[in-house]
Amino acid sequence: MTMELTRTDAASGETYGFELTEEHRRLREQVRDFADTVVAPAAYDYDTRRSLPYEIIAQMGEMGLFGLPFPVEYGGQGKDYLSLCLAVEQLGRVDQSIGVTLEAGVGLGVMPVFRNGTEAQKRQWLPMLTSGEALAGFGLTEADAGSDAAGTKTTAELRDGEWVINGTKQFITNSGSEITRLVTITAVTGESTRIDGSIKKELSAILVPVPTPGFVQGPAYDKVGWHTSDTHPLTLTDVHVPEANLLGERGRGYANFLQTLDEGRVAFAALCTGAAQGCLDEAVRYAKSRNVFGRAIGSNQYIAFKIARMQARVHSARLAYYDACFKLMAGRPFKLEASIAKLVGSEAAMDNARDASQVFGGYGFLNENPVARHYRDSKILEIGEGTTEVQLMIISRALGFDD
C-alpha cells in the first residue's frame, strides 16, 4: 500500500506526510517474500515444538533486520524507524512470535543501549546485537511492578566498584535463548525521603551480561500463544557486575525506559497491524474458495460484511501507527499517538482473529490453521508493552482527565 496522505499538526500548524519511499517499498516486499517463503512454512512446526528457530533468526540477521534503525558505525543499516515497523508488520502477518522476536530484540534489547549507553557500551554491545548474532532482553516486570515502578523490589547495591544485584523478574522476552548475551535490569539503587515522609525509590538500569554467576533463567513459560517466542522468569542472586555497567544516569532508569517504551509501542502497533492483516488475508482467501450450497461463502452478504469490517480495522490500525511513526521520525511529540496506535492495533488484531476463525468454521479451530494461531497469539497484544487499560489511561490524561 502506498501512503500519500498529509496531516496538519494541531500545535504547530505544520503539515507532514505519510509516504513510503521506493526504498521502503522494496524493503517491505523483501521482508514479505521472506515471511511467505521461509517463515510461514515453518511456523506450525516451530509453534508445536515451542522452540525459537535459530536458523530463521540467523537469516533475519543476515538481512540486516535487527540493525535497521541504527547507524552503520555500530553495525546497523542506517535506515529509519519506519523501516523497522514495516519489517515487523510483514513478519507478524504470518508469525507473531517471529515478529515480536524482532520487535523486542530491537526495541527492548538494542534501543536502550543505543539511546542511553556510553560510547564504550555501544562499541561493546551494539555490533553483536544489530547483526542478530546475539539477542538482548529488558528486565523490568516483576510480580508487583511493571507499569507501577514503585513496586520494584529488585535491588542493586554498589560495593567496591561493583553492582551487587538481587531480585526476580518475570515475563522477560529474549532473556533465555541460546543466543541471549545481555539483559538490562531495572533495580532500586537507593531511596530518599520526601517532604511528606514517604519513601521515593531511586531506580536505575544496569547491564547484566549472559552468562553471569547468580543470574538464572527459569524454565520457559507455558503460554497460551507466542509459543516460538523466548520468554522466561529471571532470578538474580548476588549478581556482581562492574560499576561501569550502569546504563544511563543513576536514578533515571525507569524514566529512560518509559521513553524507550513509547518508541517500542509504535513498532508493537506495527506487529498488531500485521497480525490483523494476516487474519484478513486468510479470511478473504477462504471466503472466495469455500463453496457451500453451490456458491462461495463470500457471496453471502453476512460473510462479505464481516470481512469488510476486518479490512476497515487493518486500514485504521496501519494509519494509526504510520501517524505515530512519522511524528517520531520528525522529532515531534508522539506519546499519545503511540498509545492510540497500540490500542487500535491490538484490538484490530484480536477482533480480526475472532472473525477470521468464525469465517473458517471448524477449520478455524485447528492449530495447523494460521488463523487459529493468530487467535491464540493475539490476546497478548492487548497486554504486552502496556495493557489496554494503560493506553486508555495515557489517552485520557492527554484529554485532561485525572486518574
Alpha helices in 20-141 (DSSP H): 22-34, 40-49, 54-62, 81-94, 96-104, 111-116, 119-130
Specify whether 385 is catalytic: yes
8 A C-beta contact, residue 109 and residue 138: yes
Q: Do 350 and 328 touch, CB atoms closer than 8 A?
A: no
Contact 199, 192 (CB under 8 A): yes
Instruction: Report which residue type is found at 201.
Output: K
**Nine cell digits for residue 106:** 530491537
Distance separating alpha carbons of residues 386 and 403, to the nearest angstrom: 16
Give the three-class secondary structure for 192. Answer: strand
Instruction: Catalytic residue, from 89, 263, 347, 385: name it.
Output: 385
Residues 6+ apart with CB under 8 A from 375: 353, 354, 356, 357, 364
Tell me which residue has cell 487493518.
314
Any idea what DSSP says for residue 171?
Answer: E
First vs last Cα of the chain: how many Å apart? 39
DSSP 211: S
CA 173, 140, 234, 129 torsion-angle sign: positive
Could you tell me if 217 and 176 are in contact, meaning their C-beta atoms sit under 8 angstroms apart? Answer: yes
The total number of residues shown for the chain amounts to: 403
Crossing angle for the helix pair 81-94 and 253-289, to the nearest 10 degrees: 50
The residues carrying an active-site annotation are 385
